[in-house]
Amino acid sequence: MGSQWGYDKTYMRAKQEGYRSRAAYKLLEIQNKFAIIRPDDNVVDLGAAPGSWLQVERTLTDGRVLGIDLNPIADLDGVETIAGDLNDPDILAEVKSLLDVVSVVVCDAAPKLSGHKTYDQARIIELNEQALMFACRVLKQGGNFAVKSFQGTDFPELYAMTKEHFYSVKTMMTRSTRKGSTELYIVAKNFNG
């Protein structure tokens, strides 16, 4: 477990509490505020490596938890994983065959940043849109979706696109996000099919 931002208090707390990364606390904050995962929900986690969100999800539901990432995810009790690209039709088919019903899709993924703000923003929004489209293909009516994004010129369009598919769409900045970051989460509830 590592942190590209160094060993701050949140990182050290995650390590002490057995989480694979500080990101676990971000999902806990989202859950505490919006209750997006219910006790019997099946959850699909996109961009799930190294697995800290999967660790949290496993404690929130007795349903099935499935993590998808380009990179293999180290085993976790009670969690299924797929190594692959969320845009691959075979991955989508595999998810549909594994889970009869998907109640929640979450995505804490971000592409590797180049340092060129405009280019990075476009890549992040593209990944967010791909996660949204994946969610729209697998979610049950009334399902929930949460995705990490970053504020910027393209963000309002993504937010509006999400509102077309969900009855309730909010944004949230978590306390666990490093200072100075433009990171925020879109939390969308009640998928309208």
Q: What are the boundaries of each domain within the chain?
A: 22-191
Predicted confidence at residue 159, as pLDDT, reads: 97
Q: What is the pTM assigned to this prediction?
A: 0.90
Q: Using the predicted structure, report yes or no on whether residue 39 has a pLDDT greater than 90.
A: yes
Instruction: Determine the Cα–Cα distance for residues 172 and 64; give it in Å rounded to an integer.
Output: 26
Question: What is the pLDDT of the chain when averaged over all its residues?
Answer: 90
pLDDT of residue 3: 41
pLDDT single digits (tens) 72-104: 999 999 999 999 999 999 999 999 999 999 999
pLDDT one-digit tens code per residue, 103-122: 999 999 988 878 888 888 88
- Phi then psi for residue 142, to 5 deg, are 90, 0
Per the residue annotation, which of 148, 170, 179, 189 is the catalytic one? 148
**pLDDT given at position 180:** 66
pLDDT, tens digit, for every residue of 47-67? 999 999 999 999 999 999 999
Q: Give the pLDDT score at 76.
A: 95
CATH number of the 22-191 domain: 3.40.50.150
CB 73 within 8 A of CB 51: yes
* 179 given a catalytic annotation: no
Of 160, 133, 157, the closest CA to residue 145 belongs to 133
